[in-house]
Structure 1
Amino acid sequence: MDATPQLLSENASWWRRRCGLREVLIVALPLVISTASWSLSNFVDRMFLFWHSQEAMAASLPAGMLHFSLLCFPIGVASYVNTFVSQYNGAGEKERIGPIVVQGILWGCVIAPFFFLAAIPANYAFQISTVDPEVARLEQVYFWVLAYGGGASIVANAMSAFYSGRQHNGIVMAVDSSSCLVNMVLDYFFIFGYVSFVPDGIAGAAWATVLSQWYKVALYGGLILMPRNWHEYGFGLARLWDREVMKRLMRFGSASGVQLSLEVSALTFFLLMMGRLGSEAMTATNLAFSINGFAFVPLVGLGIAVSTLVGREIGAGQPNVASDATWSGFVIALVYSGVMCVIYWTLPELFLAFHQSSDAEGVLATTTILLRFVAFFCLLDATNVVFVSALKGAGDVKFVMIATCVISVLPVGVGAAVLLSGGGIYACWVVLTLWVFAMGATHFVRFLYGRWRSMKVIEPELISA
């Protein structure tokens, strides 16, 4: 078992060594800024919707989460291009990077039309789960418009992996941040009806999201088509359909996609159940999740950095250095989450100041209490994100998938039982916190066990020292 972290070496401190704190911070910081911009964009989006109407605010989270839960499997496959790119890069096989990126882009294009087919069953789900008919109608509108951007989200993830997998994260930060800025600007004009040919309210918010995703695809596409990338990384030699490359991507990426889909689907089911408690409970939960994005979403960027560095060192035949990257990322995650935990617990009004209104006092009081729950499980999220990212970066995706499938029974089964027995919003949040704890503890123990050290996703003969 890998029970002791490899924190020190003979020749360098933990700060300066390869995959120590300094390198992890350098790799992670642009990705943290990039993912933090998503959180800011979502926060502004829901703040504008709250100003427009509380019904629109209440409808945006369950509809958005259901759309994202459908995105999770194909995005999980496309995002796993990052692990292939990092391991090929670590092994010095640059010309193999282009073909895997092309297959990831093709995957997004093939999947895109299927998001529209999900509209009919989604409408039934909203009608069954939501008490307020107006909120259910707005959920249907939001979900349908978001379908136009589903393919863009998948393609953009595959494209961004070309840069994040090689630690060129400044480009990812610039593209994602500019896309979020576009989204926020369009939100303002679309939600409040300042553009006459775009439906306002929640439909306008959805169209802003769709257009910002296609903007990101166009920007990444222009960068990838630059002559240097075309020749050095094998894009010019890549086939539009490469059976062997696609087969390898699906073999590992599909397990990653199933894991992400199961996790988000369980959370989505939990949120849909909250609709049975009424619009006030749903709005408070929506606000709490939106605010939690400030703690959780930057951890996603850190997780991408950990996965990339672990993949690079596995590709280079250096599992001990990959372990260093993971423990360094874990320390950084705990420090950041600890700060956010204190702020959520002691200063919740910092996040609620922009949501004040005469008819929202009950919602804000409930949200303040929910932020105490958030303060607890943001630390648990930090543990889960770092160690699941390390396992996926090495290729231990089958275990991650099975563990998620088993543990996700908790919020679905227990949460439904709590509601049927008359439990309220706080009882449901206790279930959610226990779920996050179980996920983090399981992946932490799996990492300590150390089986990931002998795994890889690229061809075995390419692993170099």
Structure 2
Amino acid sequence: MSNGSEASETTSWWSRPAGGREVLQIAVPMVVTTLSWTLMQFIDSAILMQVSGTAMAAAYQAGIIWFASISLFWGICSYSATFVAQYFGDEQPNKIGPAVWQGAWLALSFSLLVPVAQWFAPQLFDLFGHEKELARLEALFFQILCYGAPGMLIAQSLECFYSGRGKTWVVMVVDAGAVVVNLILALMLVRGWFGIESWGIDGAAWATVLAQWWRAVSYAVLILLPANRAAFNTADFKPDRQLLRRMIRFGGPSGMQMMLDVTGFALFMMFVAKIGVAEAEATSLAFRVSQVAFMPVWGLGMATAVLVGQKLGEDRPELAQRAARTTLSMSLVYMGVISLVFVFAPRVFLQTFFTHGEAPVAAATEEVSPGAVAAESTTAAHDEPAKAGVEAMTSYLMRFVAAYNMFDAAVIILVSVLRGAGDTRFVMIVSCFMSAMVSLGSYLGVNVFNFNVYGAWWFIAIWVSTLAVIYVLRYRTGKWQAMRVIDQIHHAH
């Protein structure tokens, strides 16, 4: 082990184990994959914006609530990647196939809750007190998306067969294909291409549903190829109680963390939407744009979890730590550049949504008075002056995103480190506290202290920064380096 460590120190940052090259080999395809997910939603938003701003805002907010409702199950199913990574690092390939299929079984069992979620949707969105048409479209979009939940969860489980072993280029190809499927269907069903009558917001939802099922079928076919059945025992798809319990034990807190984080974020969105329709549109757009910009960091985070799992499976925590530092440094540099673009050239990201000429560009880049923007944006969303007001407000909100970008990048990478090691209980406890804080703070800010949209965004920026400090402190304790989610039988050095 010492010889390997000494050799690694004589090589460059790029070529050494867990260095830049190894990280990017796994991360680049995952960046494309995560971009494809967000691009799928971005395409729907851009197309729906041509229908109406209300339809775009409804689809985004309903999509967030929908993902919040399945995020517990998504977190458990996606945790198969950590099992695959550690089994792969510990040279136990015969256990990789069964581990992947346990996630698929869990996905199928979770799908039994779909009818309940669909029935409850109208009552759920009525609770937020949104404008009547906005609430109706939110419920409709949510109900249709529910048909895609089983496909999304199954695909997420089966994807781990490749991502956990670092074969992320396969994930990239399959998910990029799903984006193409979604784009074609969205243009056909929303814009009415090829002579098909436009379905409006329904068409965008169905395009997403069918794209998710396309992913699930594609992964199932690939996993059951003869070579994979022979090498990784992928034909063994029977339920394994012991493995299921272990997956729920470690993946449950991870899924709970994701559910709490997404729910807190979703509630923030829904409370801000009570301030006004223009504020809802601007907030939806600002988060949508930030999601697209953030996807490379999410890809780096997924690579971090895989590398940490593999290196700990090899019983080489020093390389797991190096992988974490490598991905963190890449993420911070990238987000620093993006933050500058958000502040000085927001139109780069907004031009897809606003195509009404040069006047709004000046409004978007000048110092904007919050009160003036809010007043300008109270008219109908498809009115040109109102669109200019929404664009200006969105540009202003992007400055808040720039303020917390690097803190958020640190959170993504460090949570991935802890998840890859199995330190999911700590992550869940933090999420319980911090999600309660963001939910309660958003409610009090909007309903008691009468925050305007900018006050609400100041709150979220401070919240993200606090979260980053907590995870930095946990990472520095080093406790995660001694954790494992599997029973090791090999120590490969």
- Whether TM exceeds 0.5 here: the answer is yes
Alpha-carbon spacing, 1:365–1:239, altered in 2? closer, same or farther (3 Å):
closer
Supply the distance in 2 between the matched residues of 1:432 and 1:54 (Cα, whole angstroms): 24
Question: Who is 2:472 aligned against?
Answer: 444
Question: Who is 1:155 aligned against?
Answer: 154
Instruction: Kindly report which structure 2 residues correspond to 1:31-70, keeping only aligned pairs within 5 A, or say none.
Output: 31-70=30-69
Aligned residue among 331, 334, 341 for 1:333: 331
| RMSD (Å), alpha carbons | 1.7
Supply the distance in 2 between the matched residues of 1:214 and 1:316 (Cα, whole angstroms): 35
| TM-score in terms of structure 1 length | 0.95
Instruction: Kindly report which structure 2 residues correspond to 1:8-407, keeping only aligned pairs within 5 A, or say none.
Output: 9-194=8-193, 200-236=199-235, 238-356=236-354, 357=356, 358=384, 359-407=386-434
Task: Write the letter of the residue equivalent to 1:430.
Answer: W
Q: CA contact under 8 A between 1:7 and 1:14: conserved in structure 2?
A: no
Question: What SS is found at the alignment partner of 1:17?
Answer: coil
Q: CA contact under 8 A between 1:408 and 1:435: conserved in structure 2?
A: no
Supply the distance in 1 between the matched residues of 2:430 and 2:6 (Cα, whole angstroms): 28
Question: What SS is found at the alignment partner of 1:245?
Answer: helix
How far does residue 143 in structure 1 lie from its aligned partner after superposition?
0.4
How far does residue 49 in structure 1 lie from its aligned partner after superposition?
0.5
Task: Write the letter of the residue equivalent to 1:400.
Answer: V
Task: Write the letter of the residue equivalent to 2:46.
Answer: M
- Calculate percent identity across the aligned residue pairs: 35
Is 1:413 equivalent to 2:412 in the alignment?
Answer: no
Alpha-carbon spacing, 1:197–1:251, altered in 2? closer, same or farther (3 Å):
farther
Question: Who is 2:487 aligned against?
Answer: 459
Supply the distance in 2 between the matched residues of 1:250 and 1:301 (Cα, whole angstroms): 24
Task: Write the letter of the residue equivalent to 1:305.
Answer: A
Supply the distance in 1 between the matched residues of 2:190 and 2:165 (Cα, whole angstroms): 38
How far does residue 9 in structure 1 lie from its aligned partner after superposition?
4.6
Supply the distance in 1 between the matched residues of 2:193 and 2:388 (Cα, whole angstroms): 29
Aligned residue among 422, 428, 432 for 2:460: 432
How far does residue 218 in structure 1 lie from its aligned partner after superposition?
1.1
Task: Write the letter of the residue equivalent to 2:415.
Answer: V
How far does residue 22 in structure 1 lie from its aligned partner after superposition?
1.6
Supply the distance in 1 between the matched residues of 2:273 and 2:328 (Cα, whole angstroms): 35
How far does residue 196 in structure 1 lie from its aligned partner after superposition?
7.3
Question: What SS is found at the alignment partner of 2:199?
Answer: coil
How far does residue 421 in structure 1 lie from its aligned partner after superposition?
1.4
Question: What SS is found at the alignment partner of 1:129?
Answer: coil
Task: Write the letter of the residue equivalent to 1:20.
Answer: G
Q: CA contact under 8 A between 2:90 and 2:489: conserved in structure 1?
A: no
* Structure 2, gaps ≥5 residues long: 357-383
How far does residue 404 in structure 1 lie from its aligned partner after superposition?
1.0
Q: CA contact under 8 A between 2:97 and 2:237: conserved in structure 1?
A: no
Supply the distance in 2 between the matched residues of 1:190 and 1:390 (Cα, whole angstroms): 41
Alignment deviations for residues 406-428 of structure 1 (CA, whole Å, 9 cap, x no partner): 11222111111111211110111
Aligned residue pairs total 459
Task: Write the letter of the residue equivalent to 1:179.
Answer: A
Task: Write the letter of the residue equivalent to 2:417.
Answer: A
Q: CA contact under 8 A between 1:74 and 1:257: conserved in structure 2?
A: yes
* Structure 1, gaps ≥5 residues long: 1-5
Alignment deviations for residues 437-463 of structure 1 (CA, whole Å, 9 cap, x no partner): 122221111111100011000114455
Task: Write the letter of the residue equivalent to 1:431.
Answer: F
Task: Write the letter of the residue equivalent to 1:244.
Answer: Q
Alignment deviations for residues 179-236 of structure 1 (CA, whole Å, 9 cap, x no partner): 0111112111111234777761111100000000001111111111100101211123
Question: What SS is found at the alignment partner of 1:145?
Answer: helix
How far does residue 113 in structure 1 lie from its aligned partner after superposition?
2.6
Question: Who is 2:368 aligned against?
Answer: none
Question: What SS is found at the alignment partner of 1:118?
Answer: helix
Supply the distance in 2 between the matched residues of 1:463 and 1:83 (Cα, whole angstroms): 17
Question: Who is 1:3 aligned against?
Answer: none
Q: CA contact under 8 A between 2:8 and 2:17: conserved in structure 1?
A: no
- Greater alpha carbon shift after TM alignment, 326-335 vs 270-279: 270-279
Question: What SS is found at the alignment partner of 2:10?
Answer: coil
Supply the distance in 2 between the matched residues of 1:405 and 1:7 (Cα, whole angstroms): 42
Task: Write the letter of the residue equivalent to 2:337.
Answer: V
Supply the distance in 2 between the matched residues of 1:116 and 1:181 (Cα, whole angstroms): 29
How far does residue 464 in structure 1 lie from its aligned partner after superposition?
4.7
Alpha-carbon spacing, 1:448–1:8, altered in 2? closer, same or farther (3 Å):
farther
How far does residue 12 in structure 1 lie from its aligned partner after superposition?
1.6
Supply the distance in 2 between the matched residues of 1:11 and 1:34 (Cα, whole angstroms): 33
Alpha-carbon spacing, 1:7–1:64, altered in 2? closer, same or farther (3 Å):
farther
Q: CA contact under 8 A between 1:105 and 1:158: conserved in structure 2?
A: yes
Supply the distance in 2 between the matched residues of 1:103 and 1:19 (Cα, whole angstroms): 29
Supply the distance in 2 between the matched residues of 1:300 and 1:401 (Cα, whole angstroms): 19
Supply the distance in 2 between the matched residues of 1:197 and 1:51 (Cα, whole angstroms): 17
Supply the distance in 2 between the matched residues of 1:354 and 1:241 (Cα, whole angstroms): 47
Question: What SS is found at the alignment partner of 2:100?
Answer: helix
- Greater alpha carbon shift after TM alignment, 122-131 vs 29-38: 122-131
Supply the distance in 2 between the matched residues of 1:197 and 1:109 (Cα, whole angstroms): 33
Supply the distance in 1 between the matched residues of 2:484 and 2:195 (Cα, whole angstroms): 53
Task: Write the letter of the residue equivalent to 1:176.
Answer: D
Supply the distance in 1 between the matched residues of 2:166 and 2:296 (Cα, whole angstroms): 17
Supply the distance in 2 between the matched residues of 1:220 and 1:378 (Cα, whole angstroms): 33
How far does residue 253 in structure 1 lie from its aligned partner after superposition?
0.6
| TM-score in terms of structure 2 length | 0.90
Supply the distance in 1 between the matched residues of 2:62 and 2:7 (Cα, whole angstroms): 47
Alignment deviations for residues 379-408 of structure 1 (CA, whole Å, 9 cap, x no partner): 111100101001100110000110111112
Q: CA contact under 8 A between 2:84 and 2:164: conserved in structure 1?
A: yes
Alpha-carbon spacing, 1:7–1:131, altered in 2? closer, same or farther (3 Å):
farther
How far does residue 66 in structure 1 lie from its aligned partner after superposition?
0.6
Task: Write the letter of the residue equivalent to 1:217.
Answer: A
